[in-house]
Amino acid sequence: MVILNSVGKMSVQKQVEKENIEPTRKVFRIEVPESKHGMWYNKNGVFQKTINILCPDGIAKDFPMPLNLELHRKDGLIWSSGGNSIEQMNHWFTSSDAKALMNKGFRLFEFEVSLFQELENETLFCRDGLISQKEIPLEVIWDL
């Protein structure tokens, strides 16, 4: 139950309570930190597949990553793609993939988010729901 104050705004206490009950999710993503570009889409959700050039021998280059406007633009927001675990990232990308990506400026991040969509093979997340992010050194996951 949300209680509004006399001017129709949620009280700070009620806002904090509301925020504390929203579910959060950890999502793992490899991207260029400065631009936020991924390997299939840039930070604005524009398709520019580079995975096949960056990782020509990798498993991930063959993933179908079509733009689905109902999912990738849900609620008028831009949703980015990620994995739901380190193990999934390790499965999707080989050590040689990770090395090639690192040499091109890509880094692995763990995001904690409140806006996410769980799909069969990926988790979409919106940066508007970003709670925290931290870089995970690629050497921790792959033998580089």
Helix H or strand E segment including 54: helix 51-54
Whole-number pLDDT of residue 29: 96
Amino acid (one-letter) located at 101: L
The larger pLDDT score, comparing residue 8 to residue 100, is at 100
Is the pLDDT reported for residue 126 higher than 90?
yes
Question: What is the DSSP annotation of 4-25?
Answer: B-TTS-B-HHHHHHHHHHS--E
CA distance 97 to 75: 34
Is the pLDDT reported for residue 1 higher than 50?
no
CA distance 135 to 125: 17
pLDDT tens per residue across span 103-114: 999 999 999 999
Question: Cα-flanking dihedrals φ and ψ of residue 48, to 5°?
Answer: -155, 75
HSE toward the beta carbon, residue 119, CA cutoff 13 A:
15
pLDDT tens per residue across span 19-58: 445 699 999 999 999 999 999 888 887 888 888 888 887 7
Is the pLDDT reported for residue 5 higher than 60?
no
Cβ 142 vs Cβ 99: under 8 Å: yes
Domain parsing of the chain, residue ranges:
22-141
The whole model's pTM is what?
A: 0.80
pLDDT tens per residue across span 61-94: 888 777 888 999 999 999 999 999 999 999 889 9
Over residues 7-27, mean pLDDT: 58
Q: Which tokens in the block code for residue 79?
A: 């949703």
Whole-number pLDDT of residue 52: 85
Counting other chains too, the contacts that 96-99 makes at CB distance below 8 Å and 24 or more residues apart are: 96/55, 96/57, 96/58, 97/54, 97/55, 97/57, 97/58, 97/59, 97/60, 98/138, 98/141, 98/142, 98/144, 99/138, 99/142, 99/144
